[in-house]
Each structure stands twice: as structure tokens, then as C-alpha cells.
Structure 1
């Protein structure tokens, strides 16, 4: 048996810090991170710089008491400092937990209390992080965090939920293999990966694993559709992950059909249901074989996926189980429902990492044989493809009938006078709940009328799904990750 210089078996998995040191030695001058700041600057960091700077910051964090097994909360917006802090945390054998910073102070304090991390790094620590560059470069022992990362998931109501992945922070090639490889596609490596989403979100933090594979990350400080396309062209971006809202805004750019998107090898669409017209638009922009739609959750219960050419044969689907993921659609008494009947989606995967919650959030409902549900509703077709309709908590019961906001939103967004829409259920004496559409107009000076929206929607949906009321706003309040808090919207309108 051969051993490496540290005395470990040569075929033993490398810790994430050891993998970074290896890259710094083998490719010291290659750019690993490029940051696209709002002020127009675009600082770049080589693998040697990332290794050195994260070691300096790790020593500074150790002076603040961080030891192996601790949690470090990272309340930083997308920035080089956030990436360095995550790398430094792993170098100490601790667990990084990115934290939403775009929430009210009271909610941030509640999340911080739930995490109970050894250190919280926020905007006030940016200068301190930068100052560590002047410190000596320490010789750190190789350490492996027992828990690779945590992700926060909480709204304005309910208990904060911090989801921690119970697997060690070691380099796993399978995690960094391009997702499109599941369809037998080989893409050039290293990839240039655009990160348009906030890194407090699972889809934004996950690309850090690709840094250890030698891929280059191009991180946006904040999502902007025009800037995304500019960066794709200038840095020949090969892949990115985006929400439907992001893709909608990119596709709506007036010159998008004339822009150069040929560097894109593949993209992932996730986080929400993709409207059919938007999928067709992107198929026209880059081709169906380059689009992958996925359905999963931060708890990593399992994953479904399909490529754009499959989607054309199963329009509206979020795919079949990937790898060993199994699916069930269950009724209210836990019974397996017939094909085509809407019920609660349950997933099971033996190879998915176990998760735990930090805080008081209850675990997801599960079956005795290991299937679990994140609260989404959907159905299966005869070919085993899953169709997601909406979250159970968002379903509107109006006049005794069930209405799924995502379906109504998908119908309304095609109106040429609508740039964004959210549908909620509001208290109503006659209907129990009425379907209420909140729209942001394409032209603020000439927004569509309620009757225009109702007539347009009536041509696409059953009458009971048509919004009873329509509200025009300047902009839909979305988080940096483009998500909406429906509960807050309903509360602000009287419940």
C-alpha cells in the first residue's frame, strides 16, 4: 500500500483543504475565483492566492476561538471575503453555514441564535478579513470537518431551520462531475461556472465544491440579467444554475437573440417550476440538449431531473428519479395514489447524505420505510415522470376547489403586459379564499387592467382558477435568490 507525504493511504479521500493545497501547488497561477462587483471592479484570485489567504484567515479565526467541530456563521453577501471565509472554516475542521443577510434584524438575530456558531461574520467584519492578508502565513495541520456545510431555510414565520449535511468535508469527484454527464455528455474541463445567485442559498453555495475540482468560479455580487449575459460573453461561461425568475429576466432582454451564448455547454434550472413558455424560449436560445431541470430540496432527500429534449416529450415534468432516487405520491392516509392523481411527493435515496437540523424545526414527514416529503404536491405519469404542481402550504382552497398558485402564475406571466407575478389566496367571505394576482407591469405607465388579466387567464385556465382580484405593484418583493415570501404578502393584505 502506498502512502502520501502526510502518512495517509494514497487512495484515501483528500480533505477539502488538502485538495486546495494540491491545486495551489500544481496550478498556482490559474484563476480559481473571479468576482463581478457592483462597482465595476472584477478582482481575480489564483489558486495559490486562495490557499494563502484562506490560511491567513483561518489563523485569525482560530484566535477568535474556532476549533474543529465548531460552526462558523457567514452572514456575508457574495464576495471574495465570503469564499475565503468558507475555505478558512474548512481549514480549521469547522462547518461553514452561510446566512441570509437580506432579512430584518430581528429575523437575523433569531437565526444567529439558532445556529449558535462560535463566530458570526457579517458586513462589519469585511475590513477585519481584508486585514488578515498582512498576517504571516501559518503552517496549518490538515483537518476534516465532520459536517461539510449547513444551509439556512426560514421564512418570516415558523422556527428557523438550519440544515446540516452529515458528511465529512472531503473531496468527492462525484460531487463535482458536471451534472449533464448523467446523459452521457462529456464537457470540456475545467469549466467556467457562473454563480448568479446569493451564496446563502444551496444552489449558490454548492459551486464552491467545484472550486476544488479546478473549475473557475465567476461570482456575481448581485444578480442582474444584463450583467449575466455580458459576463457569459466576456468570460466564456460554460454553465450556471438559475431560477425561473432569473431565466425569465434574461430572456426578456431586448437584444438577447443577438447575444453570443455559444460558450454555454449546459445549464441547470431549479428552485421552482419552470413555466412551459419559458422553457420553450430557452430551448430556442441554447437548444434542448443543454437544459437540465431538477427537483430536489436542501435536505437532499433525493433528486429528479430531465433534459430539455426529454421535457419536450413530457412537457411540465421535473423528471424521473436520478441515480437511486425513488418516488411515491401518497394520499392523506399514506396510501399510494394512482398515476395522474395529485398527492404528496415522497422521495428516498440511500446514497444521499444524511441531514440534521440545528434549532427547533421539526423533521420532515416520513414513512416507516424511509421515504420523506418536503411538502410538495404532484403526480406521476405512466412513464415514471414526476409533475410538480405546487407546495401544499401555498394551495388555495376557493369555493371548495383547490387552486395551485404556480399554475395560475404560469398562465399570467405570458401576458405581454406582465413582467412578474405572484398569486396568493386572500380571505374572502363568499369564497373562503379568493385567488388574488399581484403583478408587476412591463410598462408602469400602462399596466394591464384587472379585466384584461382575467380575460387572458380565462382563455388558459378553468373559470374557478381565474383571479378574482388583481393588484398592480411597481415590483414583486423578492429575495436576492428571487424567492417570494407568500405568507408575508398575505399578511400584509389582511390574511
Structure 2
């Protein structure tokens, strides 16, 4: 594998992006111009650039431009409220922020299209929320070597985990590139010499049309997408040829066994799954035939990873016994930017705890039992109840609030808020109150009022009790 920069120089006519049609040579020229533009603004190795960008060529340019001049690139979710965006931009100390095509064009304007000097690998720093709901940057040490020098290890790793290889593949981007997995797969599709087909958003039938039209060979999806595709009428599904698919990689949330089987009945044995986090990267992985032999597993430890299941005392548990998952990576360490205490709290020595409960079978395959107690995953996106509760409690008529995730067949979980008022307030007033405070995707699907919410003997809100009572059958 030569990687993007070398491939583009050697084969400039190769198609890099299908829409708008962009060759590797054209993309490299713009990447180089932006790299020069960033340096002209005084950025040096280790500085941070943030992008609040919608899917398209621009975020690709920013990832590859920062990636060859030793900068950290922070992709920011453009759905966030302005106050949330401002928090991330302040916390990461971004020296340059790009918010649209005009910003990228301004960086490139008048700059040479040749490679910058003193090329050194950068890194993407994704922001992820903790249980408090305040996002933290997951920062890894910069390699201190040319981009091409670090690619062989990652190419080998991807090949081992999901059978991706360099060549004439076509990668479909179905999710926003501000999420870690879609961003990483977009980046490595170019390093593998593949062509990118970038969907502006996920919509079941248009996605099938893109697969058919461009003979897509690999894609990255989340289980909610599978569910929505399976809801299409049979005659709609049959309109599109999906036989070109070789690897459809999914992660971010548990996929119901029936949904995964139904997709493989339709598309063939092409679903590759991995389990991990922004912090741990790909910790477990499972290929299609392995999963069909053990439905429900998220796989065995990925290459260079070790895993163990610990009880509350930190004792290792035998196969079949559920406990907290701990992983150790051979691919390097991470730290939460500006938060050494949080970094230390997430580790047990060299072992990182993603915060999930699961068990290993006799052959070392992991089965998840439950997510972190309070975490809600809706459509593959992490939503943190404490953040929504805090926003609700800012309303002067709200005495208490509890936010829980309620199982939903399509989304995985829906957000439900139970509110204890101490003065008259309507659901419409609360929704208007939340609008400027938190992103729309975090807004509760359901708001219900309660005269009292359960608490522990120490006075702490008991979310588990709230959840049990809400989900209990009538009577």
C-alpha cells in the first residue's frame, strides 16, 4: 500500500471522489494548498485545527491536509447547539476553525500545489462525552514520522480485521464524518486507493441506488440503517443490484440478531462487525462466517489487543461470567485532553474499561450484556442523560428530572424524560427551553410529568429504579 499521497502523485487520474468528480491528482493539489495555507497562518506541529463541516470533499481535504503536517484535526458535530460547539473549540485550543467551503477555499487560495516540506504525520482528535456529558478530546501522541511510515501497520490491521485491501475498491460514506469510525474509514479508503462515494445523508433507497450505480464494494454503517433498509417493500429492494458489496462494516451499537441475519440473507455474508470506542479504537472484531456460527457475538480481541472481564473487586472472571470489559492495546495509548484525572480514572494500569458489561465464551468471543448503566445509544449515537437532565433543571418550574433510554426497534433506544415540576409548565415550554441548550438529536422523544421521582437512601436520583418503573408492565 502506497497511501493517498504517493498514490495521488503516481496515478493522478485515479478517481478519488465520485460526486463531485474529483481525481486523486486534483484532491492532492487541494490538500497540498491547504497544508501550505495552514503553515502560512503560523501553525506548527502539535497545533489544532477544527472543522465544523458537512459531508463532502471539504472534510476529506482537511483530514488529509492536517495529516501530512503534524497537526491535530478536530471534526465537530455541526448538529450541536452553538454553546456546545463553542465549548469544544475552546477546549481544544483550535488555532484555525473551518465552517464551510469558503474557509477551505480561503486556506488554499494562492498557495502552491506541490508537497509541503518537512512532512510529518498528524492525527485526528475526536471529542467524546463522558458520563457527565461534557465532551473530552481523545488525544494520541503524534507519530513523529512521515505519513507513509505509519501506514503499513494500520493497513495490516484493517486487513486482518475487515479484509480490506489496497486496489480498486469503492467506499460508500453513509454517516457524518464527525463520528470517529466513518471519519477513519473515509481516510483509509483513500490510503487504500479506493474511490469515495459520499452520501449527503442516510436515506434507505438512495443509498441502495448509490451502491448499484457505483458498484460499491465496501461501506460503514450502523444497525439503525439496516433496520430502516429492511422496512423497504420487497419490490423496492429488488430494483437495486447490491452484489458488488464485499465488506459492510458496522459498529456503534448492538445489532439485533434477527436484523443482522435478515441483512445477510439479502446482501450475502458481507457484514463485518467490530466493538470498541473512540478511546480503545477497534478492540474486538468478528467476520461474517464467525458471527453466523456464534450469532450475537461482537468477536474476539483484535490483533495486538488483549481482553479480560473483571468483577467489581477487580478479580478476573471465568468464561460465561458477565462483568466489566477491560482491554489493553498494542497500538499505543491515549489521554483525555486537559484531563489527567479522567484519563487515570478510565484505566486500571494498562487496561482501559469502555464501561460496558459482557462475558467471554470458552473460545474468547465477547458477548455484550448491557451498555454503561446510564448511556443511551440512539441510532448509533451516544446520548448522555446527565446533560439533558441538567438542561431541564435550568427551567425555573422543574424540580427534578430523570432521563432514560427506552428500547426502540428502529433506533435502538429513544430518549424519554420524566419531569417533576414544582410550578405549572407545559411540554411545549420545556421543548422551547431545550432548543438553544442542547442539540436536537438529544431532545427527548417523550416528556412525561411525575409527582415524584425515586431516589436512593442518600438522596441520589435512582435512574435504574426510574427505568424499571417506566418499563414495568401495567399492574
| TM-score over 0.5 (shorter chain) | yes
Answer yes or no: is the 8 Å Cα contact 1:329–1:344 preserved in 2: yes
1:442-493 deviation per Cα after TM superposition (whole angstroms, max 9, x unaligned)? xxxxxxxxxxxxxxxxxxxxxxxxxxxxxxxxxxx9xxxxx964xx639955
Matched residue, 2:280: 300
Q: Which has the higher contact order (CA 8 A, sep 6+)?
A: 2
CA distance in 2, matches of 1:332, 1:64: 51
CA distance in 1, matches of 2:205, 2:444: 28
Q: 1:285 aligns with which of 244, 248, 266?
A: 266
Structure 1, unaligned runs of 5 or more: 1-12, 35-41, 397-404, 414-418, 430-476, 478-482
Tell me if structure 2 keeps the 8 A contact 1:66–1:92.
Answer: no
Number of aligned pairs?
397
Instruction: Output the CA distance in 1 between the equivalents of 2:123 and 2:85.
Output: 22
Is 1:259 aligned to residue 230 of structure 2?
A: no
What runs of 5+ residues in structure 2 fail to find an aligned partner? 377-403, 421-433, 435-439, 454-475
CA contact (8 A) 1:163 1:356 kept: yes
Shift of 1:181: 4.6
User: What is the Cα deviation at residue 375 of structure 1?
Assistant: 0.6
Alignment match, 2:425: none
| Higher mean C-alpha displacement, 101-110 vs 317-326 | 317-326
Instruction: For residue 202 of structure 1, report the CA deviation from its aligned partner.
Output: 0.9
User: Match of 2:354, SS?
Assistant: coil
Counterparts in 2 of 1:42-191, with a 5 A limit? Answer: 42-123=19-100, 126-131=101-106, 135-137=110-112, 139-145=114-120, 147-154=122-129, 157-168=132-143, 170-171=147-148, 172-176=151-155, 179=158, 181-182=160-161, 189-191=167-169
The normalised TM-score by structure 2 is: 0.75
Structure 1 partner of 2:256: 275
Q: Which residue of 2 aligns with 1:339?
A: 319
The corresponding residue for 1:39 is: none
Tell me how far apart the structure 2 counterparts of residues 92 and 188 of structure 1 sit (CA, whole Å): 24
Give the conservation status (yes or no) of the 8 Å contact 2:320–2:361: yes
2:225 to 234, 238, 246: 246
State the match for 1:330 in structure 2.
310
Helix, strand or coil for the counterpart of 1:422?
Answer: strand
Query: Are the structure 2 counterparts of residues 242 and 315 from structure 1 closer, same or farther at C-alpha, using a change threshold of 3 Å?
Result: same
Instruction: Give yes or no for contact 1:90–1:144 (8 Å, CA) kept in 2.
Output: no
What value does the CA root-mean-square deviation take over the aligned residues? 3.2
Q: Does the CA contact (< 8 Å) of 1:301 and 1:352 recur in 2? A: no
CA distance 1:69–1:423, change in 2 (3 Å): closer
- Report whether the alignment pairs 1:23 with 2:7: yes
TM-score relative to the length of structure 1: 0.72
Aligned to 1:161, the other structure's residue is in SS state: strand
What is the rounded CA distance, in whole Å, between the counterparts of 1:191 and 1:200 in structure 2?
Answer: 23
